[in-house]
Structure 1
Amino acid sequence: MRSDQPAELSPASAIGRIPSLDGLRGTAAVVVLLHHAALAVPGLAATYYPGRPPSVAASWLAYSPLHLAWAGTEAVYLFFVLSGFVLTRLVSSRGFSWEAYYPSRMVRLYLPVIGAVVFAAVTFLLVHRTGDAASPWVAARAVNYSVGRALTDMALVGGTSGAITPLWSLTWEVIFSLLLPVYVFVARAVPAWVQLVVAFACIEIGAVLAIAPLTFLPIFAVGVLLASRWDSVRAIGESVERLRWSWLVWLITFLVSAGLALSYWWTAPFSTAYYTWLRGPIVLGAAGLLVLSLLSPWARRVLSSKPFRWLGSISFSLYLTHEPIVIAFAYLFPGREVLGSLIAIVVSILVGWLFFLVVERPSHRFSRWVGKRARLLLSPSAEVAREPSP
């Protein structure tokens, strides 16, 4: 292994957080925040709604590489691939146990979600929603948040109410987390090429037929496959690093991956009908960005820097809490939506940090305690190792 290869990528090393993946996760969370902040602006929201011709400025932001900065749906697909990779890597770590994993993982996901639902309910009470906002996206958001809707959102598995739209992805995160042993077994037992063909075929078929489980659950399988075959993927990266023009290979990889992730936006000016057929390329682009963040020295250096890692530490909290803030400021600044969105971005990052300190970090610690207690209860003779949650 090259001397500059990060030790945490070695299969023999103990499980630990990979700094560049923290930075990638934080970047994706900010992209989702920018996505919703942009949708609160009527001109930019028009690019997502047929029959509403966007302005020239909005067209440049939507139908060019600039859209990478606010490609929210694509960022969520990256989250799915990333979850598949990280959880599979956790399973392969020393000291891992299924007895600890299940209760710990559920606590890790559900407690912050419950906190986010309570936070959203407070924003509904503080800022009255009328449904007549200038942005079609804001106007389509829920105007009230009943107890029934809140309980539905807290449950996740049965589907969400739509009042907090980012929660839709948590439904699939929970289901994937429950099915993780099946994913890991398939990844180890089935040839890689078969897994890829089946996964991408299911993604496309699910998108065309509008079958949500068939569309979203195979996206996690791509990350699971990458983690289970990481030795081979890493060897390719090491081969690239031995090339004189390795930086050019990584640059091309980034451009191709980003281009695939934005597949829909290259065709959207002509027809929105292609979206259902472009899910596979979008997921492939997301997987490419994940691999790049792990293998490219310059990508690792940037994403492992303190600002990106800090964003990664609050990424889950930011993801859960930002949308009610964005919508609230859209109503507080009617006719000045750009200003409202800019303020909402700053406030969302601040609230995300506070939510991390008050809710997510204590939940994370409690989830570890629950996992250790469950392991001792279900397997008393086992030695409980200190395992960081993904």
Structure 2
Amino acid sequence: MLTDIVLIDGVSRSVSPLWSLTWEVLFSLLLPVYIVVARRLPVLLQIVIAIAASTVGFMFTIGALQYLPMFAIGVALATGWQRIDSAARRFTGVWGALAWAAVIVVASLMTISYWLLLPITGGQTRMIALPTSLVGITMLIVAAVHAPLLRAILSTRVLVFLGTISFSLYLVHEPIVIAIGNMVPHASLTLVLAAPISLAVAVAFYYAIERPAHRLAQRVRRAADRDESAFAENGLVVSGPEARAEADAPRRAAP
């Protein structure tokens, strides 16, 4: 139980979806490092390095090297989003629509490449499919924002709502599915019962726990911003050009 609460040192596997939270917590702690690196490298190079590192981590069964670089892809997209946005907006008109359709089809096939390649590559499938699927997922993220048809589909109320509760659903669904599976005689009945119950519990979990946690984090952030502004107004925090001017003052005054 303690391991599942702390998460940093792994999880007990009692609730298997928690395994990914270990890497999410570590990423949150390392986020400043990610940002510093991202500001010094071109977006494409960051993505290439992240995918290569993740593949090497998989090959040598190094969890940190396999999973932590995946977060670097998101950081790269975030830090370089203005350039990506400018480039993506050039795809307009009929040819733009055709280009986005091709991107979506290719990216989707790349994302499910493991199952497509499995009959051909056998034991080497994962090593080939991991970098391929990461490229596909990255392409789909960009397309979800800029491809008009895909953006319209993903912006429907139902899908927006499902996206909103998706993390809560990810956390709660497994115990429900396992419990129902042990109580009913047929697998098909498990699916019929588990799907609506999991959704209902996920909605409750979101409104009772996840959303209040988000709001608490936002309040803490706003309070920290207010404190920083207050310190700055009182001359307790000096940054940017003012800090450089004060640092240079003794040198200018020196004979």
1:341 is matched with 191
For residues 382 and 319 of structure 1, do their structure 2 counterparts lie closer, same or farther at Cα, with a shift above 3 Å needed?
farther
1:262 is matched with 112
Show structure 1 runs of 5+ residues with no match: 1-149, 384-390
CA distance in 2, matches of 1:176, 1:167: 15
After superposition, where does 1:152-231 map in structure 2 within 5 Å? Answer: 152-231=3-82
1:359 is matched with 209
After superposition, where does 1:25-64 map in structure 2 within 5 Å? Answer: none
Quick one: which amino acid aligns to residue 101 of structure 2?
A: L
Deviations 1:311-349 (A, max 9, x none): 122122111111101111111113x01111221011101
| TM-score normalised by length of structure 1 | 0.56
1:297 is matched with 148
Is the CA contact 1:208–1:277 (under 8 Å) kept in the aligned structure 2? no
Show structure 2 runs of 5+ residues with no match: 234-255
2:166 is matched with 315
After superposition, where does 1:374-389 map in structure 2 within 5 Å? Answer: 374-376=224-226, 380-381=230-231
Deviations 1:273-314 (A, max 9, x none): 321332111111111111110101111111111111111221
1:246 is matched with 96
1:17 is matched with none
- Greater C-alpha radius of gyration: 2
Q: Tell me by how many angstroms 1:263 deviates.
A: 1.2
Q: Tell me by how many angstroms 1:224 deviates.
A: 1.2
CA distance in 1, matches of 2:101, 2:125: 27
Deviations 1:244-281 (A, max 9, x none): 23222111111111111111111223414321332111
Q: What SS class does the counterpart of residue 162 from structure 1 fall into?
A: coil
Deviations 1:147-179 (A, max 9, x none): xxx221111111111111111111111111111
2:178 is matched with 327
Is the CA contact 1:203–1:218 (under 8 Å) kept in the aligned structure 2? yes
CA distance in 2, matches of 1:235, 1:200: 24
Match of 2:124 among 268, 273, 281: 273
Q: What SS class does the counterpart of residue 218 from structure 2 fall into?
A: helix
Is the CA contact 2:117–2:129 (under 8 Å) kept in the aligned structure 1? no
CA distance in 1, matches of 2:5, 2:227: 27
Q: Tell me by how many angstroms 1:365 deviates.
A: 1.9
CA distance in 1, matches of 2:4, 2:43: 36
Between 1 and 2, higher relative CO (CA 8 Å, sep ≥ 6) is seen in 1
**What is the percent sequence identity of the aligned residues?**
39
Is the CA contact 2:113–2:132 (under 8 Å) kept in the aligned structure 1? yes
Q: Tell me by how many angstroms 1:382 deviates.
A: 5.8
| TM-score normalised by length of structure 2 | 0.84
Is the CA contact 1:376–1:382 (under 8 Å) kept in the aligned structure 2? no
2:253 is matched with none
Aligned-CA RMSD value: 1.9
CA distance in 2, matches of 1:220, 1:262: 20
After superposition, where does 1:99-110 map in structure 2 within 5 Å? Answer: none
More helix by share: 2
For residues 235 and 161 of structure 1, do their structure 2 counterparts lie closer, same or farther at Cα, with a shift above 3 Å needed?
same
2:240 is matched with none
Is the CA contact 2:181–2:187 (under 8 Å) kept in the aligned structure 1? yes
Q: What SS class does the counterpart of residue 163 from structure 1 fall into?
A: coil
